[in-house]
């Protein structure tokens, strides 16, 4: 196999992941990461694509992808898909740039040579994440989801030229879409999902698929799709402190579908002990991308699965993350008018209240400017539709792609593969076609899931309902909340209910707190578990073996040389 010389390219691209495919031509060098596809298929797509964006979109049709392009003049372009499936990072060094697929490579060295970004630390403290292209490390940036960042050729960054950001426009935001009925929406989403799952299973028929199964619609729909696709080895699992109502529903769903199912117990004392082990530091370092708290909800379940000799080490974890998102903040959508400042206040209160009241972050000019720029991008004009678009844009750019979807980094840390077929490009196109009023609730989505599930299991589907945290019907819950809101007691009632849950969490969240008494006190004061964990993480006390400020604790992976195996 031909081997490329280490060229200047290898000084500018510090890539650590296995699976990058490189294709050289006279005009440019293209590199792509698309683990669901055979390397030969990725190479063919790169060879046929007229531009890096065409290459990314062609790859994203078939799974998660990222693309890097180096132009003949020395520019570097970093392209991410709509989910930011693989974060890409960049940093100015001297008169040039370096880029990487791992923040640890750029953030510092063993001597601790880095500076923290003060605004990012403030945001992280309040919300467990960082907005925009920033990280906790000053000068280390990340490419937003669904975007291209072009870095000018070496030498240009010392002048007026700097990185150029362009958005692809593929993220599904609320629209005046042509699909206005739940039946049409359900049929379109069902067809797209069944095609995506069917293609994935046909391409890798020997894979073992691990499905986190809950009592809700997302995982039930996904499990049904795998049965319809004829997957040979699908294993469902549910985890928690005890086998309660949600677990019973999950077990029955798997049984009706004919899929093996297991319950993974998460006893708080065992979780607490395991969390402080030295091996956990590697998980934290791998799951940490410099911009969000590592996602730990299914960490213990992954640990158990990885230790199970019956589970293949290269199994594919398939979480139920979906392109179907429901609009919240009904009061903002129904209000007669909402000013730009009022909307920014609401967004900060929603996303940056993990440690309690956001306090000074409401007056943080940098944070407000970042959110205001998101409003500009969706052409905010104060209308209900533009409010919905603005709320979703910030949520997707921030919490979804930065924190929620970053949960897959934890699967990688345990050696598992992963896929998110409910977030494939065709599914995003379906949700983009929906009239925005359909996104106020998930009624059509639940009806679709019922129909697909029933098509697999038959009449017995009528015996099973969706799991819900309360038996009270939605309309009655809303009336109760309205009554409490009118007398000024809603916030207090919600706080009492959430505090009771968090002190004895069904997923054993209290076991991740370094100090039980401090955890209880902060929960009582209005913090969420995430807020407690964030404080501990920033102080270097969440796990005593990993500290975000000490590069020697990061398990930084080695940089690889990526060759063009075609030799053309």
70, 217: one domain: no
Which of 275, 243, 307, 292 has its CA nearest to residue 131?
Answer: 292
Give CA–CA dist 510/241, Å, rounded.
11
Give CA–CA dist 332/522, Å, rounded.
29
In a domain, 369, yes or no: no
pLDDT string in tens for the chain (568-residue length):
333 333 356 688 999 999 999 999 877 899 999 999 999 999 999 999 999 999 999 999 999 999 999 998 889 999 999 999 999 999 998 888 999 999 999 997 666 667 899 999 999 999 999 999 999 999 999 999 999 999 998 765 545 568 999 999 999 899 999 999 999 999 999 999 999 999 999 999 999 999 999 878 999 999 999 999 999 999 999 999 887 777 888 999 999 999 999 999 999 999 999 999 999 999 999 998 999 999 999 999 999 999 999 999 999 999 999 999 888 888 899 999 999 999 999 999 999 999 888 878 999 999 999 999 999 999 999 999 999 999 999 999 989 999 999 999 999 999 999 999 999 999 999 999 999 999 888 999 999 999 999 999 987 776 666 544 444 444 455 555 455 455 454 454 454 455 566 666 677 789 999 999 998 899 888 899 999 999 999 999 999 999 999 998 999 999 998 888 775 4
269, 417: one domain: yes
At which of 434, 466, 498 does a domain end?
A: 466
Other beta carbons within 10 Å of 98: 19
Give CA–CA dist 60/418, Å, rounded.
15
In a domain, 356, yes or no: no
Angle between helices 217-229 and 182-203 in degrees, nearest 10 = 50
Which of 245, 243, 288, 40 has its CA nearest to residue 140?
Answer: 288
In a domain, 159, yes or no: yes
Other beta carbons within 10 Å of 452: 23
The answer to whether the CB of 257 falls within 8 A of the CB of 223 is: yes
86, 115: one domain: yes
Beta strands 66-71; 13-14: pairing state: unpaired
At which of 415, 431, 466 does a domain end?
A: 466
Give CA–CA dist 501/213, Å, rounded.
21
Domain count, the chain: 3
The answer to whether the CB of 98 falls within 8 A of the CB of 69 is: no
241, 322: one domain: yes
60, 153: one domain: yes
Domain that holds residue 37: 9-167
In a domain, 402, yes or no: yes
Which of 303, 347, 294, 211 has its CA nearest to residue 548?
Answer: 294
Beta strands 76-80; 147-151: pairing state: antiparallel
418, 454: one domain: yes
In a domain, 312, yes or no: yes
301, 409: one domain: yes
- Give the 3-state secondary structure of 228-241: HHCCCEEEEEEEEC
In a domain, 462, yes or no: yes
119, 266: one domain: no
271, 227: one domain: yes
Give me the numbers of helices (H) and strands (E) for the chain, helices first please: 22, 15
Give CA–CA dist 485/467, Å, rounded.
26
In a domain, 375, yes or no: no
- Give the 3-state secondary structure of 158-226: HCCCCCEEEECCCCCCCEECCECCHHHHHHHHHHHHHHHHHHHHHHCCCCEEEEECCCCHHHHHHHHHH
Which of 533, 401, 425 has its CA nearest to residue 132?
Answer: 401
The answer to whether the CB of 512 falls within 8 A of the CB of 496 is: no
The answer to whether the CB of 64 falls within 8 A of the CB of 36 is: yes
331, 439: one domain: yes
The domain that holds 279 is classified in CATH as 3.40.50.620
417, 536: one domain: no
Reduced to 3 states (helix: H, G, I; strand: E, B; else coil), residue 344 is helix
At which of 466, 494, 526 does a domain end?
A: 466
Secondary-structure percent of the chain, ordered helix, strand, coil, rounded to 5: 50, 15, 40
| Token reading at 478 | 């809303």
In a domain, 566, yes or no: no
308, 184: one domain: yes
The one-character DSSP state at 295 is P
């Amino acid at each position: 196999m031909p081997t490329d010389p280490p060229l200047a390219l290898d000084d500018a691209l510090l890539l650590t992941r296995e699976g990058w495919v490189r294709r050289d031509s006279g005009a440019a060098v293209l590199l792509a990461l698309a683990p669901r596809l055979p390397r030969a298929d990725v190479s063919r797509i790169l060879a046929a694509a007229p531009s890096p964006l065409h290459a990314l979109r062609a790859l994203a049709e078939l799974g998660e992808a990222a693309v890097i392009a180096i132009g003949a003049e020395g520019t570097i372009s970093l392209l991410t898909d709509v989910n930011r499936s693989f974060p890409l990072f960049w940093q100015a060094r001297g008169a040039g740039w370096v880029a990487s697929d791992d923040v640890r490579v750029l953030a510092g060295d063993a001597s601790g040579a880095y500076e923290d970004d003060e605004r990012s630390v403030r945001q992280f403290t309040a919300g467990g994440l960082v907005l925009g292209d920033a990280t906790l490390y000053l000068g280390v940036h990340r490419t937003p989801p669904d975007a291209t960042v072009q870095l000018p050729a070496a030498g240009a960054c010392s002048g007026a030229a700097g990185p150029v950001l362009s958005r692809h426009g593929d993220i599904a935001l609320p629209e005046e879409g042509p699909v206005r009925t739940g039946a049409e929406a359900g049929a379109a989403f069902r067809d797209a999902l069944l095609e995506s799952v069917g293609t994935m299973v046909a391409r890798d028929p020997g894979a073992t698929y691990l499905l986190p199964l809950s009592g809700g619609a997302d995982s039930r729909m996904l499990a049904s799709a795998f049965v319809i696709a004829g997957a040979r080895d699908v294993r469902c699992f549910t985890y928690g402190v005890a086998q309660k109502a949600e677990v019973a529903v999950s077990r029955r769903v798997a049984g009706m579908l004919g899929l093996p199912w297991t319950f993974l117990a998460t006893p708080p004392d065992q979780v607490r002990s395991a969390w402080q082990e030295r091996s956990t530091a590697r998980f934290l370092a791998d799951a940490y991308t410099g911009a969000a708290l590592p996602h730990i909800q299914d960490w213990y379940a992954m640990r158990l699965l990885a230790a199970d000799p019956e589970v293949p080490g290269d199994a594919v974890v398939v979480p139920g993350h979906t392109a179907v998102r429901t609009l919240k903040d009904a009061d903002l959508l129904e209000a007669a008018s909402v000013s730009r400042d009022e909307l920014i206040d609401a967004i900060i209160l929603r996303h940056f209240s993990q440690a309690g009241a956001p306090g000074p972050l409401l007056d943080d000019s940098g944070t407000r400017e970042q959110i205001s720029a998101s409003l500009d991008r969706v052409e905010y004009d104060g209308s209900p539709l533009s409010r919905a678009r603005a709320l979703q844009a910030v949520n997707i750019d921030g919490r979804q792609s930065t924190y929620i979807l970053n949960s897959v980094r934890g699967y990688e840390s345990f050696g598992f593969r992963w896929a998110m077929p409910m977030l494939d490009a065709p599914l995003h196109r379906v949700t983009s076609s929906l009239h925005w009023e359909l996104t106020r609730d998930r009624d059509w989505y639940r009806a679709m899931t019922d129909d697909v599930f029933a098509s697999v299991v038959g009449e017995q589907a009528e015996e099973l309902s969706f799991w819900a945290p309360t038996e009270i019907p939605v309309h009655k819950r809303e009336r109760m909340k309205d009554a409490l809101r009118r007398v000024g007691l809603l916030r207090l009632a919600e706080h009492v209910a959430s505090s009771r849950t968090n002190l004895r969490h069904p997923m054993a969240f209290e076991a991740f707190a370094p100090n039980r008494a401090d955890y209880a006190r902060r929960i009582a004061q209005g913090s969420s578990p995430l807020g407690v964990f964030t404080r501990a993480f920033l102080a270097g006390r969440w796990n005593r073996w990993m500290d975000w400020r000490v590069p020697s604790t990061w398990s930084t992976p080695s940089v690889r040389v990526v060759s063009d195996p075609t030799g053309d």
